[in-house]
């Protein structure tokens, strides 16, 4: 319980920093965010047949909540991918690259979203482990919970990653911000 409380306190502290980091993004990072979001949307949409196609099939029709989870996952994953793009300003020599421990959260969020929005009986893992009726009885009711967990993990990864960009900002960035505020 204490670990969860510390995580929530840290999240609330980092949220304004993440917003500030987004304000510093350039056109290159936004272009990568859009391209990554579209790629993720197409990948998830085709594989889970939220985008109808002839390659994959779905035995159980999508639930109404599948579509917002699909789109939110795509946008958040695109932004997370763009957070790995260096800003246009050159890094100061001798500064170390920040380490990233949140990438596992982002990967887990994307994988859980795929399980959450996919057809419960088309998932070979659930089908082999539980059978058709078991997948419908046990796995299908878990899918909204998997979707919620996927969103939480991806948002945490994004906020922690963006706040790290602001906390470990390039030294020239603070000077530019001061100049901007002075004018």
| pLDDT per position as a tens digit, 143-164 | 999 999 999 999 999 998 888 8
The answer to whether the CB of 120 falls within 8 A of the CB of 59 is: no
What's the CA gap between 96 and 66, in Å, rounded?
Answer: 41
Residue range 109-119: average pLDDT?
87
pLDDT of residue 160: 87
At residue 40, the 3 state secondary structure works out as: helix
pLDDT of residue 92: 44
- pLDDT at residue 124 greater than cutoff 90: no
pLDDT of residue 70: 94
Phi–psi pair at 170, nearest 5 degrees: -65, 135
Burial of 124 by CB count in 10 Å (0-12 exposed, 13-18 middle, 19+ buried)? exposed
The tokens describing 147, both together, are 């979707």
Over the Cα atoms of the chain, what is R_g?
A: 20
Taking alpha carbons only, the member of 123, 111, 46 closest to residue 77 is 111
pTM, full prediction: 0.78
């Amino acid at each position: 319980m204490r670990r969860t409380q510390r995580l929530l306190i840290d999240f609330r502290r980092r949220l304004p920093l993440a917003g500030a980091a987004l304000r510093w993004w350039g056109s290159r990072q936004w272009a990568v965010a859009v391209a990554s979001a579209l790629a993720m949307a197409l990948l998830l949409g085709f594989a889970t047949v939220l985008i109808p196609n002839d390659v994959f099939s779905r035995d159980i029709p999508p639930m109404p909540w599948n579509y917002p989870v699909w789109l939110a996952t795509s946008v958040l994953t695109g932004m997370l991918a763009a957070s790995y793009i260096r800003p246009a300003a050159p890094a100061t020599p001798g500064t170390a690259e920040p380490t990233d421990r949140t990438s596992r959260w982002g990967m887990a969020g994307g994988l859980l979203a795929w399980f959450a929005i996919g057809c419960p009986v088309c998932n070979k893992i659930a089908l082999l482990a539980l059978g058709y009726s078991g997948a419908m009885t046990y796995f299908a009711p878990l899918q909204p919970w998997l979707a919620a967990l996927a969103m939480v993990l991806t948002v945490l990864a994004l906020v922690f990653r963006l706040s790290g960009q602001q906390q470990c900002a390039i030294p020239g960035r603070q000077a530019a911000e001061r100049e901007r505020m002075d004018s």
